[in-house]
A and B are shown apart, each in its own frame.
Chain A
Amino acid sequence: MKPGFCAQLALTVAATACACAAQADDAGKALKAGHEYLIATNYPNNLHVVEVASDTLYKTCRMPDSFGPGTAMMAPDNRTAYVLNNHFADIYGIDLDSCKTTFHANLSSVPGEVGKAMYSFAISPDGKEVYATVNPSQRLNDHYVVKPPRLEVFRTGDGLDAKPVRSFPMPRQVYLMRAADDGSLYVAGPDIYKLDVNTGKYTVALPLRSWNRPGYSAPDVLYFWPHQSSLHEFSMLYTIAKFKDAKQDPATAEPLYGYLSIDLKTGKAHTQEFAELTELYFTGLRSPKDPNQMYGVLNRLARYDIAQKKLVKAANLDHTYYCVTFDKAGDKLYLGGTFNDLAVFDPNTLEKVGNIKLPGGDMSTTTPQVFVR
């Protein structure tokens, strides 16, 4: 074991050295104010910036440490990308103009504990704080002890050795989070909670496990793509079973697809079923141009009319894609995840209009995000 460990250490050292050297060389050109960009991460440690107007790769920043999950969100300054990485254990802030790492929080801040955030981080609306729900486990000599999750609040100004400035107990099974314009934090877990980041107090903003909707099962949500779409909402897909009768037999129930949305401006939550569950989509997103149009993707790209609960059109794909992203206006639709190419579609016709090859490997579960610098 030891030789392997040493080799790994040597590799890490080497990689770190390379990253430093690369950072100096590969800072690349700064982003241009007013231009629209898309970021996407992939293996081994790339943070790509794509220029939306030309659908070409603009630059690539190298991220520190190991990849995974590489989930990135843009800060309100529209130049800092915050990335959950290093096997769910660290959050980095990367300045896209210079490719420099400007922020780093190790989520294992308590000695003896290993802390991981399951896609669970968010940025405050003023960009001054980063939130993470950390699932810690204590590593003792001969056993582990799972500790209760906690919300950790970091100050982005604390730089490369940020420590939590506040910490609050959280429910288990928490994943995506988004901060609303009023500063409250919406947290997806067994239900969707609205949390006060100063007191740690939370209430149920949208019941899921505790929905108790007559005639329906509880909804199932498996979603780890925190889309920052221009609809400015916290949205996810869910599946739900509509029972035939009071017997609530799952065998005869009708499985449906729905989406849930929390308006980050108003805090208003709503849910809506839009389709029968006939195929799986890893992500689904409403068009910024016409929010009545839902686009889902996994093995096909499908477009639904939400009001009519009708499949409008579906396109075959060259391979599986996990994640839908729109440009700001909703004129272009990008598919990312899995391989190392972004497919560009016309959301109206579902014709494929372009393909952007990214250097590096698998994008895994990355969430491409679009923003204007």
Chain B
Amino acid sequence: MKTTRLRRQAGTLALVATALLSAQAMAAEQGPSLLQNKCMGCHIPEGNDSYSRISHQRKTPEGWLMSIARMQVMHGLSISDDDRRTLVKYLADKQGLAPSETDGVRYAMERRLNTVEHFDDPLSQMCGRCHSGARVALQRRPAKEWEHLVNFHLGQWPSLEYQAQARDRDWLDIALKQMVPDLAKRFPLDNPAWAEWLKARPESKVLAGQWAFSGHMLAKGDVRGVMTVSAEQGDTFKVEVKGAYADGTPFNGSGSAILYNGYEWRGNVKVGEANLRQVFAAIDGQMKGRMFEAEHDERGLDFSAAKAGQGRLLAVQPAFIKTGSDSEITLVGSDLFGKPDLGAGVQVTEVLESTPTLIRVKARAAKDAAAGPREVAVGALKGVQLAVYDKVDEVKVVPAFSIARIGENGASVPKVQGRFEAEAWGKDASGQPLRIGYLPATWKVEPFNERAVEDEDVRFAGQMQADGVFVPGGAGPNPERKMMTNNAGNLKVIATLADGGQQGEGHMIVTVQRWNNPPLP
């Protein structure tokens, strides 16, 4: 029940109903009184709207939400959803992170749960063995607060120091004497980047306007269109998206969004039947991040957008062309004018459509065009590349390593699907590896090892669909399986290119439900 609640709370971050707009608008005014009324019972006032613990940390909106939710779940805080939203907004604005402080770890907010983290051993073993390292890296505290965090962890979960990567060492001693100073140094409360960001932080209303966007959803394809943003009260927005996938599927919808800390954009947009969340960093006329389904965050698209008036080339779709072939190519960006230049050996034979946000052309790559990347230009706008290739040398399954999860079948948690594409690689004229892009493929799964053969993982773990979407099996013990075990499995994901037949291989673990699923993994 608690888990479900936290999941719901994640949703409320982005949910901004019209009725609540005034509450958001008044976050700055109401924040101090909410802190006093809701938090002062336990947190000691330190004067000047400061409180023990609370005022000595900075974190993301999700981080603040998790802290407040924990106070509700574990410490008896009673707070309405409205007030919690107001408080998250107030704290995320007042004590957030500078954009540079989130570099490299935004995947946690963006719910990219197939990310394989690469933190150093001390942090991975101390923190990353239970939750993402990113959850730590997205916080800023002084040593005393990191110390409180260590004490909280061991006090709340006393089995911590008995687990693997803990029971072989003086866990608490290492946590307090090595990790605390290290974390205080790496993720300090006081950081010039934050002070500078506070000075430079733009008004939210600069985001109002038209945005050209481009994206890609695995197992679905490229998408592009225009997002219209209109500013409402209190850093909130109305959002409308109008666009289409490359295969013609419409991508139209509307919703709302809120901006935290001058750049953390969180939206909720209904596209067709799906409720999509937006987690973007909105900086300098660009938005970058991920849009994903609220109930199926594995179904998401990489998203980038450029505001009208900024003049920016966002994407070329598809970003490859084969020598000696004709292809339809779409350029996405803002303020696009004129005939695009696709580089040496690639000729635009016909302009099929041209608007300020999209240019669609027919292109031909000469038979003798040298394989390699081409800088694409529209007028003075540059920044994207088109890969000219002659043949495919290698296929990589993306993601190379992934987790799918059994679900449903009477259980409360939905299945987490696997979604795959075949990434083709060739060589440029000088023999260097050249990323071509995603090419059509047929899909299958095979047992990853002998154990998987013996346990018939392929039979039980789920079904690979023709489109590269893997649908896992139902949750719960399976009486048909050896030892009544559940439908977990260890599988190879094999892509065979439709054109050429080259194969690539990925690795997918089909595992049990994620019961504890907070906003930051």
- A79-101 vs B: 1/0 string, CB under 8 Å? 00000000010000000000000
Contact between A173 and B162, CB atoms less than 8 A apart: yes
Would you call A41 an interface residue if the criterion is a C-beta within 8 Å of the partner chain's C-beta atoms? Answer: no
- Chain B contacts for A141, CB-based, 8 A: 42-44
- B50-66 vs A: 1/0 string, CB under 8 Å? 00110000000000000
A116 touching B158 in the complex, CB below 8 Å, given contacts A146-B151, A299-B483:
yes
Would you call B154 an interface residue if the criterion is a C-beta within 8 Å of the partner chain's C-beta atoms? Answer: yes
Contact between A220 and B154, CB atoms less than 8 A apart: no
Contact between A319 and B483, CB atoms less than 8 A apart: yes
Closest B residue by C-beta to A137 = B155
- Chain A contacts for B485, CB-based, 8 A: 319
Question: Nearest Cβ in chain B — how far from A357, in angstroms?
Answer: 15
- Chain B contacts for A146, CB-based, 8 A: 150-151, 154-155, 172
Contact between A220 and B167, CB atoms less than 8 A apart: yes
A299 to B482, CA, bound (A): 10
Say which residue of A2, A114, A137, A299 sits within 8 Å of B76 (CB atoms). A2
| Among A88, A172, A317: residue with most chain B CB under 10 A | A172
Contact between B154 and A1, CB atoms less than 8 A apart: no
Contact between A144 and B156, CB atoms less than 8 A apart: yes
Contact between B171 and A173, CB atoms less than 8 A apart: yes
A222 touching B167 in the complex, CB below 8 Å, given contacts A1-B78, A141-B44, A318-B484:
yes
A271 to B500, CA, bound (A): 60
Say which residue of A137, A317, A318 sits within 8 Å of B158 (CB atoms). A137
Contact between A172 and B151, CB atoms less than 8 A apart: no
Would you call B159 an interface residue if the criterion is a C-beta within 8 Å of the partner chain's C-beta atoms? Answer: yes
Q: How many residues of B are counted as interface, with CB atoms below 8 angstroms from the partner's CB atoms?
A: 32
Contact between B76 and A209, CB atoms less than 8 A apart: no
Contact between A118 and B158, CB atoms less than 8 A apart: yes
A318 to B155, CA, bound (A): 38
Would you call B200 an interface residue if the criterion is a C-beta within 8 Å of the partner chain's C-beta atoms? Answer: no
- B74-107 vs A: 1/0 string, CB under 8 Å? 0011100000000000000000000000000000
Would you call B170 an interface residue if the criterion is a C-beta within 8 Å of the partner chain's C-beta atoms? Answer: yes
Would you call A145 an interface residue if the criterion is a C-beta within 8 Å of the partner chain's C-beta atoms? Answer: yes
A139 touching B170 in the complex, CB below 8 Å, given contacts A2-B76, A118-B162, A318-B484:
no
- Chain B contacts for A116, CB-based, 8 A: 158
A114 touching B170 in the complex, CB below 8 Å, given contacts A141-B44, A142-B43, A317-B483:
no
- B416-459 vs A: 1/0 string, CB under 8 Å? 00000000000000000000000000000000000000000000
Would you call B130 an interface residue if the criterion is a C-beta within 8 Å of the partner chain's C-beta atoms? Answer: no
A88 touching B484 in the complex, CB below 8 Å, given contacts A141-B42, A142-B43, A222-B167:
no
A316 to B455, CA, bound (A): 13
Would you call A135 an interface residue if the criterion is a C-beta within 8 Å of the partner chain's C-beta atoms? Answer: yes
Question: Nearest Cβ in chain A — how far from B352, in angstroms?
Answer: 57
Contact between A1 and B156, CB atoms less than 8 A apart: no
- B474-487 vs A: 1/0 string, CB under 8 Å? 00010000111100
- A4-21 vs B: 1/0 string, CB under 8 Å? 010000000000000000
A220 to B167, CA, bound (A): 8
Would you call A311 an interface residue if the criterion is a C-beta within 8 Å of the partner chain's C-beta atoms? Answer: no
Would you call A175 an interface residue if the criterion is a C-beta within 8 Å of the partner chain's C-beta atoms? Answer: yes
- Chain B contacts for A88, CB-based, 8 A: 158
Contact between A319 and B484, CB atoms less than 8 A apart: yes
Would you call B394 an interface residue if the criterion is a C-beta within 8 Å of the partner chain's C-beta atoms? Answer: no
A142 to B44, CA, bound (A): 8
Contact between A144 and B161, CB atoms less than 8 A apart: no
A218 touching B156 in the complex, CB below 8 Å, given contacts A141-B42, A319-B484:
no
- Chain B contacts for A247, CB-based, 8 A: none
A12 to B518, CA, bound (A): 28
Contact between A1 and B72, CB atoms less than 8 A apart: yes
A137 to B148, CA, bound (A): 12
Question: Nearest Cβ in chain B — how far from A306, in angstroms?
Answer: 25
A24 to B483, CA, bound (A): 39
A88 to B151, CA, bound (A): 19
A139 touching B43 in the complex, CB below 8 Å, given contacts A146-B172, A172-B170:
no
The B130-176 residues at the A interface (CB cut-off 8 A) are 148, 150-152, 154-156, 158-159, 161-162, 164, 167-168, 170-172
A142 touching B52 in the complex, CB below 8 Å, given contacts A173-B171, A220-B167, A222-B167:
yes
Say which residue of B42, B78, B483 sits within 8 Å of A142 (CB atoms). B42
Say which residue of A145, A175, A317 sits within 8 Å of B151 (CB atoms). A145
Contact between A135 and B483, CB atoms less than 8 A apart: no
A300 to B484, CA, bound (A): 14
Closest A residue by C-beta to B159 = A118
Closest B residue by C-beta to A136 = B155
Would you call A320 an interface residue if the criterion is a C-beta within 8 Å of the partner chain's C-beta atoms? Answer: yes
Contact between B483 and A144, CB atoms less than 8 A apart: no
- A142-156 vs B: 1/0 string, CB under 8 Å? 111110000000000
Question: Nearest Cβ in chain B — how far from A121, in angstroms?
Answer: 14
Contact between B155 and A2, CB atoms less than 8 A apart: no
- Chain A contacts for B156, CB-based, 8 A: 144
- Chain B contacts for A145, CB-based, 8 A: 151, 155
Would you call B73 an interface residue if the criterion is a C-beta within 8 Å of the partner chain's C-beta atoms? Answer: yes
Question: Nearest Cβ in chain B — how far from A255, in angstroms?
Answer: 14
A144 touching B155 in the complex, CB below 8 Å, given contacts A222-B167, A319-B483, A320-B483:
yes
Say which residue of A1, A5, A172, A316 sits within 8 Å of B161 (CB atoms). A172
Say which residue of B44, B73, B155 sits within 8 Å of A139 (CB atoms). B155
Question: Nearest Cβ in chain B — how far from A340, in angstroms?
Answer: 13
- Chain B contacts for A137, CB-based, 8 A: 151, 154-155, 158
| Among B72, B154, B161, B162: residue with most chain A CB under 10 A | B162
Contact between A220 and B168, CB atoms less than 8 A apart: yes
Say which residue of A139, A144, A190, A318 sits within 8 Å of B148 (CB atoms). A144
A1 to B52, CA, bound (A): 23
Say which residue of A5, A139, A218, A318 sits within 8 Å of B483 (CB atoms). A318
A143 to B151, CA, bound (A): 8
Closest A residue by C-beta to B75 = A1
Question: Nearest Cβ in chain A — how far from B385, in angstroms?
Answer: 40
Binding site for A on B (CB under 8 A): 42-44, 52-53, 72-73, 76-78, 148, 150-152, 154-156, 158-159, 161-162, 164, 167-168, 170-172, 477, 482-485
For this complex, 14 residue pairs linking A to B, each with C-beta atoms less than 8 Å apart, are A1-B78, A116-B158, A137-B154, A141-B43, A143-B148, A145-B151, A146-B154, A146-B155, A146-B172, A173-B171, A220-B164, A222-B167, A319-B483, A320-B483
Known: A137-B158, A145-B151, A317-B483. 17 other contacts (CB 8 A): A1-B72, A1-B73, A1-B78, A118-B162, A139-B155, A141-B44, A142-B52, A143-B53, A144-B148, A144-B152, A146-B172, A173-B167, A220-B167, A222-B164, A299-B483, A319-B477, A320-B483
Enumerate the 7 nearest inter-chain pairs by beta-carbon distance, A residue then B residue, closest first: A137-B155, A144-B155, A144-B151, A143-B148, A141-B42, A146-B154, A116-B158
